Amino acid sequence: MQQNIFNSIRSMKIMDACKGTQVHALKPSAAAAADRSSVSAADKQLHTSLDHSKSPIGRTRPVSTTAPRHDAVSETLLPCGLPASELLEPSIEPSLKPLDFVETLARVHRRAECCAALEKSEVYLEQCAVLRGLPDPKLFRRGLREARRHAADVHAKVVLASWLRYERREDELVGSNSMDCCGRNLECPKASLVPGYDHESVFDRCTCFLREIVSDCVVRNQECEQECSTSSEYVDGSGDRDAEDDDVFFCIGDSEISCRRYSMAALSRPFETMLCGGFLECRREKINFSMNCVSVEAMMAVEVFSRTKRLSQFPPNVILEMLSFANKFCCEEMKHACDTHLASLVLDMDDAVLLIEYGLEETAYLLVAACMQAFLRELPGSLERWSVMKMFCCPEGRDRLALVGHVSFVLYYFLSQVAMEEEMRSDMTVMLLERLGECAVEGWQKQLAYHQLGVVMFERKEYKDAQRWFESAVEAGHIYSLVGVARAKYKLGHMSSAYKMINSLIENYKPVGWMYQERSLYCTGKEKMVDLLSATELDPTLSFPYKYNAVSLLEENKIGAAISEIDKIIGFKVSPDCLELRAWLLIAMKDYEGALRDVRAILTLDPNYMVFYGNMHGGHLVELLRPVAQQWSQADCWMQLYDRWSSVDDIGSLAVVHKMLENDPGKSILRFRQSLLLLRLNSQKAAMRSLRLARNNSCSAHERLVYEGWILYDTGYREEALTKAEESISIQRSFEAFFLKAYALADSSLDSESSKYVINLLEEALRCPSDGLRKGQALNNLGSVYVDCGKLDLAADCYKHALNIKHTRAHQGLARVYHLKEQHKAAYDEMTKLIAKARNNASAYEKRSEYCDRDMAKSDLSLATQLDPLRTYPYRYRAAVLMDDHREDEAIAELSRAIGFKPDLQLLHLRAAFHDSMGDYISTVRDCEAALCLDPSHAETLELCNKARERINEQKVRESKTNDQVFSECSLW
């Protein structure tokens, strides 16, 4: 029926079918233009804008099962030779990167606290832009939720709700509809079209999920009654009304539509003037309306609306004509009703494509909003549609949207981020970033837009344009963009100028790691190595120094030392580029088994990754490595997975799962295991992709619900995740459903009753069939709940049982039990066992430090920091020891060093407490505000911040009284 309705719209000739505008290209630099063909840049961009996908995997020749000679293998596997240090270069980060991150966080938090309610959405959007540069995507998503919560106009609600949905990539869920919602007003497509400031109800259940049978029947009955009561009115224009009330007739051709004069006059001021004012029509019974381009059906509908104020009985094509009529005669109430009704008809992207032109032509705000929402909720796929791409990308399309009130910085911020993730170098990305720059008003908006344009131009090797945009970002206040200016100058042959620029940056500002890393690019020899060492000392998370040192050692023919160097960063920060370099080195060392492991891990993190300077797809390298590596059956793989899982070898486990998925790509449980491993490695984006694949490959409804629940939980929707778990259990009792429910419930402070319930859920899970890997995790979690309840013997039994099935991490729980029983030697020994077994044992050293004396604890924590500098407990412990020894400045310096590369909530809170104890209340408030920007609900930080503010106010009062007293004494003197 819906299709028939819209077929009638297609047949209308109210306006042209296609009213698109030409997409214009950026003005190319002179150097780039000289190398191009005679085809215009605009034409080229018009035809290539949609072609922004990554290079596909090419066909590979069948590989012989006979293992080739090693020398032939090396030649095949190293088509680009060995990596060269002069070709290495760190990427320029595309996000905002303030020099004083803590002060920036504090400033944004202060703005959010002090600004007016209607301004909060914009402030939280700035917070999102700042937090985008941090590795934890949950911080960014929480900022987006707050921005959506405080949005008041429909446009902002539509964009932010769509962005939140995009963060879960629900477009990849097979069978899902773009207009589905997760059950809260926060993301509901219907709630987004309701104007008004609704920050209190935004987390409530939306109307989509309040569908009780009784209420549905009532609604349907009411609609039927309305249709029956008004259908005759629409057919003959009379209905039940008294014919004597009709005192004017509108004539269209041979037809006469009888109307109530005063009802029609109430539609708008023009009608009131015409029918009740000084015009001739006010004295006529018949008014000729044939020349006003309105059909008889539409005029009859207008007459019915003038009396009933209802539209539900009219087909969409008539309502569209009524919308045009309302615009022509300034009938605001009717226009709003038509606009609202048509917006409710947009159910998918096809509807949106059909109706968007009408909405733009008639400046129908809600209709355009509904169409835009359909496009945005299907990103990135919707940008592949030519009409959608033109509307968003080209200046003319932006101007048309602006006339309807649907152009904003947040819209193009969202669109440009999607385009950059899809293909940074595409023409479409450039055009969207240009529109972003045009919408930028505030300083941070200009910094972001211009800097990202510089990054994209740099990636496209258009260095003059890149330099220009980076310089614009610097002028707007983004000092980090000087890195882009220097890099562009270096590419254009001005190495000395680039060096001086970064050197001046180090001299004029407080040095940070990336400054020394950048300066190292423009010097050689000993000076270069000194800068790289300084960069690593200030920020051990920078990967470039490790990569450069590794390749330098390789060039000295020290392959073993080179692998050890790159192992340092892979031990705590896994990234495809570092794994690629290690695989490259392992091939040179003829360790094909290890190289295959790393390439499989790379493809798990990024299935489209191109190795060897982007010249070969990772999947092709797997094909080349497979014949020279050990062959495993699926049973062998399960044994290998158990061994690697129990030794906490997450990269090895990833590789095994990747191999198993080659043999059985539809195995959803393997995808789920993959997602768990990726979460351990802090690769949340890849983990979510694996979860979506697990959900799509589920062979049963109850299994699919569990994976949907995990997706919701991992993106911050705990209550919705619990609902999915309960739905799954209602279909079939399973280990994963009970485990999900227990895990989600335990993610809050548990009282005794809640703890009992979580224990029951975990016990139910353990009664259901599952493998040892998952049962070990459930036993470990059950032991933790028992410990929290003080049931230490039961907890110990759980941990020992978990260890019997090779859940190695249970050593940590058992050590905790021994510690609580005052058996400190046993606790220490238990952690020593974990250190011996675990491949990644930084956390084990950290935990063991709690069970020994101060000197041994310092030694363990020093090792933990070397293995994983991102772990914050060692810094906090060392700072606390220094504070106890009354070495306050050293304690602050210890925390500041870690905060410099990881602005962590606990680190900031502890430094704020130290400042407070030293009487530096201004610094206390700054650190508290920065911490609250990361977690606004942290109770201890809130309390500390409020006390510090009170003391600052008390100091001001005392100073004011002292000044008054001094002034009084001076006056007397």
> What is the pLDDT, as a whole number, of residue 73?
60
Q: Which CATH superfamily is domain 248-345 in?
A: Potassium Channel Kv1.1; Chain A (3.30.710.10)
> What is the pLDDT, as a whole number, of residue 71?
56
Say whether 870 sits in a helix, a strand or coil.
Answer: coil
User: pLDDT (tens digit, 9 = 90+) per residue, 639-674?
Assistant: 999 999 888 899 999 999 999 999 888 889 999 999
Q: Where are the domains of the chain?
A: 248-345, 631-690, 876-972
Residue 305 backbone zone (phi > 0: left; psi -120 to 50: alpha; other: beta):
alpha
Q: CA distances (Å), 585 to each of 77, 467, 581, 592, in order? A: 11, 35, 6, 10
Residue 286 sits at φ, ψ, to 5 deg, of -120, 130
Residue 894 backbone zone (phi > 0: left; psi -120 to 50: alpha; other: beta):
alpha
Would you state the structure tokens that stand for residue 22, as one six-digit string?
């030409």
Q: Are 371 and 356 in contact (CB under 8 A)?
A: yes
How far, rounded to the nearest angstrom, does the alpha carbon of residue 231 sit from its chain's CA centroid?
A: 49
User: pLDDT (tens digit, 9 = 90+) per residue, 802-834?
Assistant: 999 999 999 999 999 999 999 999 999 999 999
> What is the pLDDT, as a whole number, of residue 169?
84
Q: CA distances (Å), 659 to each of 61, 66, 422, 958, in order? A: 20, 20, 27, 71
> What is the pLDDT, as a whole number, of residue 202?
85
Fold of 876-972: 1.25.40
Q: Which helix (H) or strand (E) holds 878?
A: helix 873-884
- Taking alpha carbons only, the member of 474, 553, 385 closest to residue 97 is 474
Q: Is the peptide bond before 769 cis (omega within 30 degrees of 0)?
A: no
Q: CA distances (Å), 341 to each of 64, 157, 216, in order? A: 65, 19, 20
Would you state the structure tokens that stand for residue 789, as one six-digit string?
């309840």
| Bridge partners, residue 286, by sequence | 249
> What is the pLDDT, as a whole number, of residue 28?
36
Q: CA distances (Å), 882 to each of 315, 895, 902, in order? A: 77, 11, 20
Instruction: Outline where 902-938 has alpha helix (H).
Output: 905-917, 921-934
* DSSP single-letter state for residue 222: H
Contacts of 163 by beta carbon, 8 Å cutoff, 6+ apart: 144, 376, 414
Flag residues of the chain having pLDDT under 50. 1, 4-6, 8-70, 212-239, 243
Task: Output 439-442 pairs: Cβ under 8 A, ≥24 positions apart.
Answer: 439/407, 439/408, 439/409, 439/411, 439/412, 440/409, 441/409, 442/122, 442/126
d(CA 122, CA 323): 33
